[in-house]
Amino acid sequence: MVISTKELGRAPGAMTTIVEHVPAPAEVGVALIGVREGSEVSLDLRLESVHEGVLVSGVATVEIAGECGRCLTPIEYDYDADIQELFYYEENAEIEQDDEVDQYWVVDDLIDLDPVLRNAVVTALPFQPVCREDCLGLCSECGKNLNEDPEHHHEVLDPRWAALAQLADIVAEDATQSKTSDEREEK
């Protein structure tokens, strides 16, 4: 997403607007959610020439798609990413470069919006997206969606008591057999 700033010139105060639709770049997102590569990105931007460079401000609307981190249900919505970034002219060598702050540059009268869009969108995405706040997720035993059946559960025996449960089954079986033997003897 490279944009030419040639028509602005380098006169502070010159301004132009950009309203266009471009395809989304690859890998704008996190593990479970992000922008689909090639989906439409709507740009409504203002480019303004300032003494240090070109100030870009406006909104980029993207289509977010992914899946719920609890129940794996598909999630889709539009997101308006606010953009306000200063692209410095290359010859501004007096500007101190800070390793902790991203600085963007006007190179040959061109600016690349890709890293700015990535920063604006990815930082706003949830790390663990959910389809709704009260999503119950999936059953850890069988994988059933608990949102569809909230009462679903399994009888789970604590493994520490498993040997005792087996012993109880043996005792119950012995009691049944001895009762049957006693009934036969009575007849």
The pair of three-digit structure tokens given for residue 148, joined into one six-digit string: 């569809």
Contacts of 115 (CB under 8 A, 6+ apart): 102, 104
- What's the CA gap between 99 and 116, in Å, rounded? 16
The pair of three-digit structure tokens given for residue 180, joined into one six-digit string: 């049957």
Question: pLDDT value at position 175?
Answer: 79
Question: pLDDT value at position 131?
Answer: 94
Which backbone phi and psi does 92 adopt, to 5 degrees? -85, 65
Question: Mind listing the pLDDT tens digit of every residue in the chain (187 residues)?
Answer: 888 888 887 888 889 999 999 999 888 898 889 999 999 999 999 999 998 899 999 999 999 999 999 999 999 999 999 999 999 987 765 555 655 567 888 888 889 999 999 999 999 999 899 999 999 999 988 899 999 999 998 877 777 877 787 888 888 888 777 766 666 666 5
Question: pLDDT value at position 6?
Answer: 83
- What's the CA gap between 16 and 88, in Å, rounded? 17
**CB-based burial of residue 17 (10 Å sphere; 0-12 exposed, 13-18 middle, 19+ buried)?**
exposed
On whether the pTM is more than 0.75, the answer is no
Question: pLDDT value at position 23?
Answer: 92
The domain locations on the chain are 2-122
Please report, for residues 37, 66, 152, 169, 180, the alpha-carbon distance to residue 176 in angstroms, rounded to integers and kept in the order given. Answer: 67, 56, 33, 11, 6
Question: pLDDT value at position 146?
Answer: 92
